[in-house]
């Protein structure tokens, strides 16, 4: 196969991210003397620089269409492994913004003195390589490989601190990842058996015409693939690993898992549903809808019981995945990407606030540790309240309100009224989840007034996230313009 200039353009962002990852690792390996602070600064600048390049490329190509690594099919259009189209561009923008925000949160003392600088940035960029490839993948082999390139570095990041809690969290996530990959490959093997192709477009074209006796096999195969993704994004009932993993990882790594890793899983499932296994019939869409209802309900109900900030955000993220799966079940890619973009911005800001508190306040784990924060640290406290309001979908957090409304509209237009009822009930449960935390923030402080030393990188990230959330609330059309 000859690699053309179009192929190079299509893989430009993953390629530059991969080169940055190797550069960071080499610099760390050969930097045997000198200041650790300088090495940390260089690694952060390289990581941030390649991500900024990716964002600039996304802006330049936002209306473009390119297909890479294509071969001519016997019947129908050419079969391509990677496609750069408006959906890919929108997903890349969300993923790269999330990755850049995590780099900013990690710029202060790089999580802790025990975290190796080079390995951390290498793993972060490697996971971003897999995430960007996954968003543009159009064949099942590329989907599986890209998903593993996202997953394995993410789990290694959880264990970088090398303590017992982090190692246990990483092991749980790794074992679940192995199981989910096995389930997914089982389904893919049967999809290949009934369609004779791994290319999503060819699978979608051939599924309606297969023998009726094989349709049950195709349905089961698609279901296994969706279950494999369900493990990756912690959809219920495949979610058990997530709360312990989030609690055991450094909070910056937890932010990466919640923002980038989870967004990559949703992106892969969106590509699969949009282009591959479900355009031929409603059965698998109903399965995704049931998965959405279970995920949002269990996630929000469990979040009501949490007393730790990170665990509350962990269960809340499970509930948010349910809302992401709802428009995905009916094939509304625009609503999914818009909701994902708003989720990434406000979740990154919320984890930024949690990171500041855990770094500078003894304890800092419980919701009660945030008591009086809006009075003694009004900037940080107000920003956190706004992030929680957006997640809840309350005014003035109109970004969350409009994306939830778009999800409702998609479900109702597809005549999934029962799912719309479940979503409405979960919106009310979610209000109780976030208002509990907001009540602690505005409550009169205890004897020990709330006070933290806020470092400049975290202030920058939190301020940008808050500003972004305000802009998206004023101009919600920006969210829906990510995908045409």
CA distance 245 to 42: 29
Instruction: Count the alpha carbons within 13 Å of 90 in the hemisphere toward its beta carbon.
Output: 24
119 within 8 A of 469, measured Cβ to Cβ: no
Q: Which residues contact 448 (CB under 8 A, 6 or more apart)?
A: none
- Does the pTM of the predicted model rise above 0.85? yes
Closest CA to 235 of 198, 188, 183, 277: 183
Tokens encoding 181: 């990959």
Helix axes 333-360, 86-105, angle to 10 degrees: 0
351 within 8 A of 105, measured Cβ to Cβ: yes
Q: How far is CA 305 from CA 116, 214, 244, 299, 440, in A?
A: 35, 45, 15, 11, 15
Cα angle, residue 286 at apex, residues 281 and 291 outer, rounded to 5°: 140
378 within 8 A of 333, measured Cβ to Cβ: no
Report CA dihedral (122, 127, 129, 135) to the nearest 10 degrees.
Answer: -170
CA distance 79 to 93: 25
pLDDT values of the chain reduced to their tens digit, one per residue, 484 residues: 577 878 888 889 999 999 999 999 998 888 776 677 777 888 889 999 999 999 999 988 887 788 888 887 666 677 888 999 889 999 999 999 999 999 988 886 655 557 788 889 999 999 999 999 999 999 999 999 999 999 999 888 888 877 777 788 888 888 888 888 899 999 999 988 888 888 888 888 888 888 888 888 888 888 899 988 988 898 888 888 888 888 888 888 899 999 999 999 999 999 988 887 764 456 788 889 999 999 999 999 999 988 899 999 999 999 999 999 999 988 888 999 999 999 999 999 999 888 888 877 666 678 888 887 888 788 888 999 999 999 998 888 889 899 999 999 999 998 899 999 999 999 999 999 999 999 888 886 655 555 555 667 788 889 999 999 999 989 888 888 877 6
């Amino acid at each position: 196969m000859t690699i053309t200039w179009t192929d190079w353009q299509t893989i430009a962002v993953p390629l530059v991210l991969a080169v940055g990852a190797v550069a960071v690792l080499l610099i760390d390996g050969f930097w045997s003397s000198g200041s650790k602070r300088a090495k940390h600064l260089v690694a952060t600048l390289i990581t941030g620089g390649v991500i900024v390049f990716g964002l600039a490329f996304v802006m330049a190509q936002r209306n473009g269409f390119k297909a890479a690594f294509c071969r001519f099919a016997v019947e129908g259009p050419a079969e391509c492994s990677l496609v750069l189209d408006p959906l890919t561009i929108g997903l890349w923008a969300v993923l790269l913004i999330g990755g850049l925000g995590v780099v900013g949160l990690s710029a202060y003392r790089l999580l802790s003195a025990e975290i190796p600088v080079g390995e951390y940035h290498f793993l972060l960029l490697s996971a971003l390589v897999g995430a960007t490839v996954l968003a543009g993948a159009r064949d099942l082999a590329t989907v599986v490989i890209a998903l593993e390139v996202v997953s394995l570095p993410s789990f290694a990041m959880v264990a970088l601190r090398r303590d017992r809690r982090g190692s246990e969290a990483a092991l749980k996530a790794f074992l679940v990842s192995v199981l989910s990959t096995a389930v997914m490959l089982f389904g893919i093997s049967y999809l290949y058996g009934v369609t004779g192709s791994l290319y999503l477009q060819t699978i979608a074209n051939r599924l309606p015409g297969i023998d009726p006796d094989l349709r049950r096999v195709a349905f089961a195969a698609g279901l296994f693939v969706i279950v494999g993704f369900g493990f990756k994004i912690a959809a219920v009932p495949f979610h058990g690993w997530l709360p312990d993993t989030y609690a055991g990882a450094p909070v910056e790594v937890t932010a990466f898992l919640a923002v980038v890793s989870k967004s990559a899983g949703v992106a892969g499932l969106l590509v699969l549903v949009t282009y591959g296994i479900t355009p031929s019939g409603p059965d698998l869409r109903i399965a995704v809808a049931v998965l959405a209802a279970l995920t949002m309900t269990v996630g929000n109900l469990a979040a009501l019981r949490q007393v730790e900030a990170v665990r509350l955000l962990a269960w809340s993220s499970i509930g948010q995945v349910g809302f992401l799966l709802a428009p995905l079940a009916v094939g509304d890619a625009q609503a999914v990407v818009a909701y994902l973009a708003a989720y990434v911005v406000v979740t990154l800001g919320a984890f930024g606030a949690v990171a500041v508190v855990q770094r500078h306040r003894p304890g800092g784990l419980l919701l009660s540790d945030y008591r009086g924060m809006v009075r003694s640290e009004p900037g940080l406290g107000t920003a956190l309240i706004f992030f929680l309001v957006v997640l809840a979908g309350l005014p003035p957090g109109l970004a969350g309100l409009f994306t939830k409304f778009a999800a409702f509209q998609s479900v109702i237009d597809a005549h999934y009224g029962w799912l719309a009822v479940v979503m409405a009930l979960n919106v009310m449960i979610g209000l109780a989840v976030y208002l509990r935390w907001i009540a602690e923030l505005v409550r009169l402080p205890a004897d020990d007034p709330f006070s933290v030393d806020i470092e400049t990188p975290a202030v920058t990230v939190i301020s940008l996230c808050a500003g972004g959330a305000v802009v998206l609330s004023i101009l919600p059309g920006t969210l829906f313009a990510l995908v045409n």
